[in-house]
Structure 1
Amino acid sequence: MITDTIANAGRYAALHPDFADALALLQTLDFAALPDGQIPCDNPNIRLFVGSEPMRTREAAKPEAHLHHIDIQVPISGSETYGWAEKGRLKNGLGYDTQRDIEFFDDEAETWFELKPGEFALFFPNDAHAPLVGSETFIRKAVFKIRTAETRIE
């Protein structure tokens, strides 16, 4: 997992073949002006979604993880708290959904942190994350889904 400011995002471009494209979008798009829904990207290995999501309590937030995608999550309208745990330490998987590339866990997050607008979190497949925690009713956010190096389209 990586957290940083959007201004520093370019530092991570070399970590994955598609990060340069994703991070360029992260640094140049005006997320507040984008409509809700999937935003077109020229790179077939990147999907970008913008939308409003309901918030929840820490107790209600279950860690999730992906096998074939890396997430970059960006709060747009307010602060968002995330739980984090190393996926390999979680014991109570609730089943993997192949269509959505997601597995939820009935375990507690090990670490909690907050992101504010202008910051991002990057979650690799080993990073189980529990997003959408906060006291507001909804948050508007952007989520990049980037294919892992093993599943990317050439």
Structure 2
Amino acid sequence: MIVDDFKNIRSYASLLPQLENGLEAIRDAASLEVGRYEFEGGHFMIQEGDTKPLGEGTFEAHRHFIDVQILLDGEEEIAWQELADLTTAIPYDEKSDKERFDGRRDHHMLVSEGMFWAAFPRDGHKAISHVDAPHHYRKIVMKLPVSA
């Protein structure tokens, strides 16, 4: 998993296939409505809402896409766990490219406006969470293909 300031995102281009196409596609994302948008080599979604307690819900992981999540406004707390330390809660679904997991939430951190994080297929991640009080957020969730 990568967590960094958005101004540094291009330094990870060798790890994030189609990143440049994705960055070009989201150039005007701040003015876009909530929804899904396609670009050559991937897609992105604009999401907005309020976080849920960290203890609720499950981790997720993807096999075919890398999640790159960019906080446009507000903040969220995210949890991370190595897949080997998680147990399957909902089996992998090819259509959504998602498997859900249960496990300990020992590793978590606050991600604020102007930051991004990237989760690779080996990263169990739980987003849109809070520990103490709810946060409001608006973010981009970019899906970039895993290199063959």
User: What is the TM-score normalised by the length of structure 1?
Assistant: 0.84
What percent of counterpart residues are identical?
Answer: 28
Alignment partner of 2:42 out of 40, 46, 50: 46
**Structure 1: gaps (5+ residues):** none
Determine which structure has the larger strand proportion and give its number: 2
- 1:4 counterpart letter in structure 2: D
| Cα pair distance change 1:9/1:25, threshold 3 Å | farther
Map 1:1-154 to 2 at 5 A: 1-25=1-25, 29-41=27-39, 43=40, 45-134=41-130, 135-136=133-134, 138-150=136-148
Write the distance in 1 (CA, Å) between the matches of 2:46 and 2:97: 18
1:20 counterpart letter in structure 2: E
SS of 2:87's partner is coil
The count of aligned residue pairs is 146
SS of match in other structure, 1:8: helix
Q: Which amino acid aligns with 2:10?
A: G
Contact 1:92 1:107 in 2 (8 A): no
- The normalised TM-score by structure 2 is 0.88
Conservation of the 8 A alpha-carbon contact between 2:16 and 2:144 = no
| SS of aligned partner of 2:104 | coil
One-letter identity of the residue aligned with 2:5: T
Structure 2 unaligned residues grouped into runs of 5+? none
State the superposition RMSD in angstroms.
1.9
Q: After superposition, give the CA deviation of every residue in 1:36-61 in whole Å (9 maximum; x if it has no partner).
A: 111242x1x21011022442101103
Q: Secondary structure at the match of 1:78?
A: strand
SS at structure 2 position matched to 1:131:
strand
Letter in 1 for 2:12: Y
